[in-house]
Structure 1
Amino acid sequence: MEETNNHDPPGGKYKRKRKKTFLKNARKYGKKGCYGRGSQLDAETYQYFVRIMEVYREGFENDEDKRIFVNNVFQQTESEEVKCSCNQVGCRVVEMLLPFANDLVVERYMEAFSEELRPLCADRFASHVLEALLGECCKRSLDKDKEDDIKEKFKGYTLKISKFLLNNLEDYVWDVYGNHIIRSVFRNFAQLPSEDVKQAKKKNSQDVKTESIEIPHYYAEILQEYSERLLTWPQFKELPYSELTSALLQILLRALSKCDKKTLKKYIKKILDECFCKDSEPDRYTQCLEIFMSKPATMLLETMMEIASPKHYTQIYAKCLKGNIRDLAERQSTNFAVQKLLTFSLAEGCKRFAAKQGLFVQFLATALHCESDDKQTDLLKCLCKFVNYEKLQELKIENYEKEKLNLHGTLIVQNILEFNKPIKFVNAILDMDTSDLKGLFSNTMGSHLVDSYMTSKFIGEKSREKLIRKLQGTYQDLASTKYGSRSFEAIWNACNMKFKMNIMDELVYKDAAWSNTEHGKIIASKIDLMLYKRNKEEWKNSSNNVNKLKELRRMEKLFK
């Protein structure tokens, strides 16, 4: 479940106008004499914090400048740590800079927050700082480069916060701000990445990594206590159906998938048997409706499917989906959830486990009436629209660029292109009419197919080269549109110098037609069109140097 930065519940389902940035609003309200919500700051302090955000946003020339800047800011908050943290703008500044503070500053905040821990855990603004403080303390307690006595201080504070929340679990699980801090405990102990909005949006297109990790016994014991307490809660059956508690369970399950598979199995079994598939309810279809009609429950079910072992995955399917998929798919209120679950559970699952991939494609072709070998390209098109062959013929699509494609169908194609043997879909793309292919790659959803095609480790260099050659004559059109330019970049990044120069020769011909468009200007700048027109050899040398630098950085990351 996506977590918003202010812990407020998500907005309505309809698209709203883009909100003003936090900094713009801070300036606006400061001029009106309103100095942030929460604890009141004087005008001078408030304006100081606004300027700090402005300077930080502009960036620094080097790390030393940044260090001096951060130290100076925290000097200004000395003896006012809690007051600043309880203010809307002050909280944002402290939370933003705390990861760059030295150990003495972090210790100062530890001491200040210890005195008023109970109200601060439930404070709308200070809870953010407490989350950041908890994360820093946990991280620094595990830092091998720090001295043992320093690490012990950070470890002690991490344990103090986590035990305080554990001892008051009944109060804070249902509190929007305390609940988020408990999630941070789970996330930090299991070393999970922070789940901001952008990362949440990427989940569908990324592999879910559940490799086991070892966490220190003193943190593992606390996590185990949390797990056992929640398992025995009288209200456990209610947890999946509340937004706050469902999100808490999701983070806990992800944490357990990293470090305690045994307890994870207990949770999956209990959620399935007591929350989703109650023995007292004889009608399995009614049970499924209850799950899918609840967004929190559906999100929890998705998380379970992401991290479940093949055995539990089969149980989830048997208890929550089998026999009801068609009925659920035909209901407007449950259709989207079923699409999303099937997308992950089938195509994503086949990719993740590297199992049943050929069988999946075979059944998919049968379901869409594209079984014969001469319908490979039709299967690709059917999936992009998520319709069968007969329906596709009725649609008579003339312009794939403007056609409304199906999100989950295109995601399935992306996953199949990353299967161990994606040859059928590689051929389907290569056999597609060039104008249709250009339209598909210029489509908001179709443009993502190029990423998978160009980066899949199971698609060979020759197949990539065939696509690059096939698209010759279309590169100006691709580069000039919003989504086509995405496809262009994916292709460009996979090209060797020979193909890049071929593309450049195509682009320079009457280049004003595309390079003056909004997106064409960006592409022209990235590929340095002007230098190529002026001096090809100099452009080639420059591009080779850039490629070498990229490769060096890639190698550095591999050996870190």
Structure 2
Amino acid sequence: MPREQKKRGRRLKDKPYDKKSVEKEEKTEFQEEADGYDEESSSAGQQAFYGLLDGTQIEYFKEVDEIINANSFKSPAEEEQLYEALWSEIKDIELKVVTDPTGSKAFEQVLLKASQLRLLEIYKDISGKVTELCMQRFSSHCLETLLNCSRSYVSSEGEQNYVIAQIASVDTVNSPVTSAVMDFIAEIKPDIRRIFFHPFGSHVARTLLMMLTGKPLVAKSGSSVLSSKKASKKKAGSAETYHYDSFEPPAVFQQCIKDMVNDLTAHLGLEESRRLALDTVCSPALQLLIEIEDSMMHDHILKIIFPSREAEMDFLTVSYIESLLSAPVGSHFLEKVLYNCPLSFVEYVYEAFFKPRLSIISEAKGFSFVVRALMERLKDKASSQFATELLNGVTNLTLQNIVLLNNVILAVSAHESSTEKVGKKIQKLCDESDINNKLLVLLDLKSFDEISPSRRSHLNDSLKQRCILIENIISHIPVLSEKIVEYFVEFPPDTKIQFCENALLSHAAEAILSKPDSALPIRRKILNDLMGHFRDLACNAGASRIVDACKITTKGLAHYKEQIAQELAANREIVQRNPYGRNVWKNWNMDLYTRSSYDWKGRAKAW
């Protein structure tokens, strides 16, 4: 029997009424409050649309993106020629390009190579449409890149015109990019609250604030903070990291920051601000505002969220902090607050909330992350006392306690007496186990048989945190770190190889081999067990880092260094065909070894 032909797409009006489906389409009351959305008062709430690119244009942008990512230009002139051709294709259809998923990537590439004149031309082209573009999924990425690329020109304009930079006004002739940024700000100012708490617009607003304050920033080309995890993994190999250094912002930016902060916090109330702190989109924006307020010696938002500073916290505030600790977003928010708030507030939260409830809240998921911020901000005596109380509550090596121990070690790493306490506590917990090799105990492994290169299980997160604990012990607890190395030496040779080839365990092995003060006999034993396996180790994703770590292990053991180099050189073709092997070959400077082993030995002595 022939089936009924169904219509494609979403046609809600043609469907019978379904209360659940309608509820999903509607915004929640909180979301409306967060972004201040009002369709009647502004058309910017809708997705910006300026037309579609045709198939030929999309194919062209895809090809250009592939060529740029391959980076196979024969000369700078050839590269410049490609970018000029790309810009000529984009010119006059900029708004179509920035709102297209493929075109926006090409537009970002143009921005990264743009001259000052081209940036000014782009600012002029988007004038009048900035608010709409901020809240469009793809164009928002382009605006982030535009602002980041403007930083160097704003900084240089301030340095060249030092006197002008100290005046709270803009010289459009001598500071054209600074003037363009000010026009950008003036255009979005009426809608700044809605943009700041919008899923796409918030990233543009935060990037703008980072530039206005002159804070350093790290960004990746071909990748956005809004990309999915799957997309980010695909782009990870080709993405280039750009580091934007801190700079002294011009005086005119200071008033902009004050106005923006005032506009964003003017109508914030207790209930709304507390809900914003627990929202995945709004919480990072609120964290940045608190950080900026702290640099301005203000704590207006903190006073809204925590209005009372009485010795005994009220029930609602206690419940709210508990809800922050139980949620990943909330724990990150509280951690950021503790790093960027007056010391008096840190001491108040510690005395009024954490200290009397330590045994109860220590089981909260986000507690271990907040601990580090709390201990680093408290004074030495209070921090040491807090560490002692925390360690008394650790009775086993569960995942929660492992994460807690990691943060405690990092927080007290500057205090030798406190690190000794942590070391004694870990040793005591390990001694409670019947397993003789305590390295297995720390990794929650019952025997050497459980170690394999392909160990993949639901315990991956636990194993990752336990490997981080090994790294922290090696770096910060000298007495215990020596024992860890000795326990590793006890592993059978085959088990050592499997341990090194495991993607997670290899990090722990790298920390052990990178310990510079290990005794020579111990290092010799480890190297003897690894000899004959360096070809396979170099070509393994996890174990390749072990070969690099052997540069430290072989310090003072020149003949071992030469044996490793000989083994790599003997398997040159296999090693160089492998991506991990190529990195090892480069790190060991093997091209020099194949040309002149004598010169290589001279350089290797400095490792």
Residue of structure 2 equivalent to 1:8 = none
> 473-482 or 520-529: which moved more?
520-529
Q: Distance in 1 between matches of 2:354 and 2:98?
A: 47
Establish whether residue 502 from structure 1 lines up as the match of residue 526 from structure 2. Answer: no
* 1:428 Cα offset (Å): 2.3
1:188 pairs with 2:188: no
Q: 1:119 to 1:220 in 2, by over 3 A?
A: same
2:81 alignment partner in structure 1: 68
1:221 corresponds to 2:255: yes
Q: Distance in 2 between matches of 1:245 and 1:482?
A: 38
The one of 410, 421, 425 aligned to 1:366: 425
Question: Bigger CA drift: 241-250 or 484-493?
Answer: 484-493
Cross-structure match for 1:172: 195
Task: Select 2:332's aligned residue among 269, 290, 299.
Answer: 299
State the one-letter code of the partner of 2:253: Y
Task: Give the TM-score normalised by the residue count of structure 2.
Answer: 0.65
State the distance in 1 between where 2:224 and 2:132 align. 30
* Corresponding residue SS for 1:41: coil
Tell me the residue number matched to 1:157: 180
1:40 counterpart (37, 49, 52):
52
RMSD in angstroms over aligned alpha carbons? 4.8
Q: Tell me, what secondary structure is at the counterpart of 1:134?
A: helix
CA contact (8 A) 1:454 1:464 kept: no
Quick one: distance in 2 between partners of 1:50 and 1:289?
Answer: 49
CA-to-aligned-CA distance 1:132-166 (integer Å, 9 cap, x gap): 22222233111269965666111112223234434
Amino acid at match of 2:54: D
Cα distance in 1 for partners of 2:178, 2:307 equals 38
Assess if the C-alpha contact under 8 Å between 2:111 and 2:146 holds in 1. Answer: yes
Q: Which residue of 1 aligns with 2:286?
A: 249
Superimposed CA distance per residue, residues 320-360 of structure 1 (whole angstroms, 9 cap, x where no aligned partner): 65455654565xxx54x345555776645654675335424
8 A contact 2:372–2:410 mirrored in 1? no
Correspondence for 1:470:
526
- Structure 1 SS opposite 2:218: coil
Q: What is the Cα deviation at residue 522 of structure 1?
A: 4.2
Question: What amino acid sits opposite 1:399 in the alignment?
Answer: E
The answer to whether residue 480 in structure 2 is matched with residue 424 in structure 1 is: yes
Q: Distance in 2 between matches of 1:339 and 1:397?
A: 30
1:521-550 alpha-carbon deviations (Å, 9 max, x no partner): 843884389x98x997746257469879x9
Distance 1:222 1:521, change over 3 A: closer
After superposition, the C-alpha distances for 1:345-393 in whole angstroms (9 at most, x for unaligned) are 6645654675335424424532662498x999966554434xxxxxx7x
Whether the aligned pair in 1 keeps the contact of 2:437 and 2:487 (CA below 8 Å) is: no
| Structure with the greater alpha carbon radius of gyration | 2
- Judge conservation of contact 1:442–1:484 (CA < 8 Å) in 2: yes
2:69 aligns with: 57
The alignment status of 1:238 with 2:275, answered yes or no, reads yes
1:408 paired residue number: 465
Q: Which residue is 1:555 aligned to?
A: none
CA contact (8 A) 1:134 1:161 kept: no
Give how far 1:109 is off: 0.7
Match of residue 384 from structure 2: none
Q: Which residue of 2 aligns with 1:126?
A: 139
Q: CA 1:302/1:408 → structure 2, altered by over 3 Å: closer, same or farther?
A: farther
The corresponding residue for 1:204 is: none
| Structure 1 residue 249 displacement after superposition | 2.2
Given the alignment of the two structures, is residue 527 of structure 1 paired with residue 588 of structure 2, yes or no? no
Q: Secondary structure at the match of 2:122?
A: helix
Q: Does the 8 Å CA contact 1:237/1:274 hold for their aligned counterparts?
A: no
Aligned counterpart, 2:393: none
Secondary structure of the residue aligned to 2:529 is coil
Displacement of 1:110 in angstroms is 0.6
Q: Per-residue displacement from partner, 1:73-131 (whole Å, max 9, x unpaired)?
A: 11222222222222222211111220201222111111011132232222222222222
> Residues 313 and 453 from structure 1, CA distance in 2 versus in 1: closer, same or farther, beyond 3 angstroms?
farther
Structure-2 separation of matches of 1:490 and 1:139: 37
CA distance in 2, matches of 1:268, 1:215: 26
Q: How does 1:261-410 map to 2 (within 5 A)?
A: 262-263=297-298, 267=301, 271=305, 279-281=313-315, 284=318, 286-305=319-338, 321-322=354-355, 324=357, 327=360, 334-335=364-365, 337-341=366-370, 347-348=406-407, 351=410, 354-363=413-422, 365-366=424-425, 369-370=428-429, 380-385=439-444, 395-396=446-447, 398-401=449-452, 402=455, 406-410=463-467
| CA drift at 1:49 | 1.5
CA distance in 2, matches of 1:368, 1:471: 27
Instruction: Report the 3-state secondary structure (helix = DSSP H, G, I; strand = E; otherwise coil) of the residue aligned with 1:124.
Output: coil
Work out which of the residue numbers 92, 96, 119 in structure 2 matches 1:79.
Answer: 92
TM-score normalised by structure 1 residue count? 0.69
Q: Give the distance between the partners of 1:545 and 1:63, measured in 2 at CA.
A: 36
C-alpha change, 1:73 and 1:479, in structure 2 (3 Å) is closer
Query: 1:150 and 1:144, CA in 2 relative to 1: closer, same or farther beyond 3 A?
Result: same
Are the equivalent residues in 2 in contact too, given 1:416–1:425 (CA < 8 A)? Answer: yes
Amino acid in the other structure paired with 2:133: L
Partner of 2:43: none
Tell me the CA shift for residue 450 of structure 1: 4.4
Which residue of 2 is the match for residue 540 of structure 1? 597
Change (3 A) 1:66 1:445: same
Q: Is the 8 A contact 2:438 2:487 kept in 1?
A: no
Give the counterpart letter for 2:249 in structure 1.
I
- Distance in 1 (CA, whole Å) between partners of 2:337 and 2:525 is 43
Task: Classify the secondary structure of the residue corresponding to 1:45.
Answer: helix
Q: Deviations over 1:12-58 (max 9, x none)?
A: xxxxxxxxxxxxxxxxxxxxxxxxx9730123322222221122122
Q: CA deviation at 1:470?
A: 2.4
- Corresponding position of 1:30: none
Paired residue type of 2:180: Y
- 1:342 and 1:105, CA in 2 relative to 1: closer, same or farther beyond 3 A? same
Whether the 8 Å contact between 2:98 and 2:139 is mirrored in structure 1 is: yes
Distance across 2 between alignment mates of 1:198 and 1:474: 41
Residue in 2 that maps onto 1:139: 152
Distance 1:316 1:382 in 2: 36
Q: Aligned in 2, Cα 1:251/1:315: closer, same or farther, shift over 3 Å?
A: same
Change (3 A) 1:231 1:400: farther
Aligned letter for 1:216?
P
Q: 1:164 to 1:115 in 2, by over 3 A?
A: closer
Q: Aligned pair in 2 of structure 1 residues 522, 371: CA closer, same or farther (>3 Å)?
A: closer
Structure 1 position 485 matched with structure 2 position 518: no
- Which amino acid letter does the alignment assign opposite residue 429 of structure 1? V
